[in-house]
A and B are shown apart, each in its own frame.
Chain A
Amino acid sequence: MTDDLEQRVRRELTGSRYELGLDPDDVLARVSGPKRRSRPGAATLATVAAALAVAAAVTVGFLLPGTSEAPVSPPAASASPAATLNGLPPGLAPAGDVAEVIKRAPALVGLPPGGTRSAYAAAAGGGVWRVVMVVDGGVAGLPGGVLDVPSDWAPDGSQLLLTRDGETTYVKVYRPDGHNFCLAVTGGPAEEQLAVLERLVTTNITR
């Protein structure tokens, strides 16, 4: 006998009230597909050229960690952070002065020394307002209390350490290929920081 409650649940879920009405252009602009290009319609040709140049430089720094290249120059205002680090929260843009972003209160004291550094910060307000990444930094422990890392963060077998210190959440990833990555997120609620870190790690580092 079919349960009446099951029928009600079926009717509820298949009704018309769950239409989300997302705009494909808006969604695609937030989702960086394979070899996704900047959208020329959103900027002048000069700005697009500048954005692509910055994206290429930062991508090289990200994919080939350990190079001795200096941090890239400040990006054009319209450069998409998704071009280098997929899954960033909306509103975060690459920061030109990485050291200043790290020192800003609350200072990100737990980052390892050296390595290739990049920073993303929100212009104003927003939930998570700073993300800093260090690729192939020196050996250093992370501050704060250790948090459990779900196994689905590392389908590639990477080793992860996740900690929470004050207003900042840190994660360090040791990939099987020998490279290591440290990410720090601060400025928003702890839950949001964790959700952002999960997205950044699984879409950029461990898959």
Chain B
Amino acid sequence: MSKKDDATSLPNHPLSRGKIIAKTITRLGTQYAGHRVKRVLGQSNIQQDRKKMATTTFEGLSQLKGIALKFAQLLSMEKELLPVEFQEELAQAHYQAPTLNRAIVRKAIQNEFGATPEQIFMQFDTQAFAAASLGQVHQATLHSGEKVAVKIQYPGIERSVQTDLRIIETMILPWMKNTIVSHLFHEMKNMMQEELDYQHELAQTQSFAKLIPFQVVKIPKVYPDYCGHTIITTSLLQGHHLDAFLARSPSQATINRIAQRLYNTVMYCCFHLRKFHADPNPGNYMFWDNGDIGILDFGCIKRFDTQQADTLIQMWNAVHTGDFAQIKQAYADFGYANSHLQSKEDFHRYFDAHYEQLIAPFDQWMSEPLQDETFDLKKHPHFCNRGSQLFRNAMANPKFKIFNASLMYFDRTWIGLFRIFEKMGAEIKVRNPAYFQNQQILKEIEDEM
């Protein structure tokens, strides 16, 4: 790629963002039309055409950055659902969004700290080494000699996110009143606002570092003096991302150990700390040959209130034993009843009529790994695809009217986690989440880590 191509910043103006969307759609449209014509003429090369369409989609999305990049990342998380050509293109969203012009990187640092990178750092690499949510990460060295990762938010992204949200709010939502989409949108809007403020991420990273007691779990150290609203500086973790780690062909024992540690840590966060890392993008985890794991990017954190974690455990147990009354009670406790179905009677009637068909298959999938002592992903091919499909089926059904944000984020985290295990081909000891609330057994887990 020529240097000129990298040097694109954010299209901020609503019109120019609209233009990129329109251009992408038009190009996709023509490509699709061409593809259909060729098919009729019998000269279609499906793979090549799809590859072209995938490239166009990704180019369009990454030019927009902002929500679109986030969307690309979400898609690549659910990537097994897409044709393989799309998978390849979209997977790039993890690490390879187009980088910012170096002059703008300098400007972003000056805006935040009022000084040039040379004045602030002993050494600063103007070339980004990774893309992050809503920004990019640069390597630098502090004057104390410590190597750090400096995450810089794309300048102007806040405005383009607001524009995107406004476009969706005024053009799409009016047609979707009181649907899951409108709930999702408001949830996404809140989440984006939190993710835009790196001060929030700073506080969360520090809090997790303090709260997670396991030695083998590495959480980057934050340097508050080098942080602002649009820049966050943390220690540089030098492990391997999932693909790179697996490419080093670790032993099955190491894989299982690492997967177990990851499972224990995530469950500990969800059910003991009652707050969890809700962005299970594989780019947010790091692995070491000795079995250590690292967690990055605490921008997307979701909480369970005091009741919710317990209710979820009860629900799981009820799904396991097939206790319908208990399941219904759990859903009612979750606050589902309040979202759409005004009265208690409405909720009961709705739940009795639709649970079996709509929600039960996904619930059963969720609790499947908990049925035995251990769960071997190698013995359950397409486990995650099945889960994503059930999740999507439920969400996409017009009859699906109940929504709870915490639960949705937990479901996503669960799917994301198992997707990583699946890729590793790991076998894990799946402890019931209730164990993570029991102090005595917790001691056992800590020793095991």
- Our verdict on whether A and B bind, yes or no, reads no
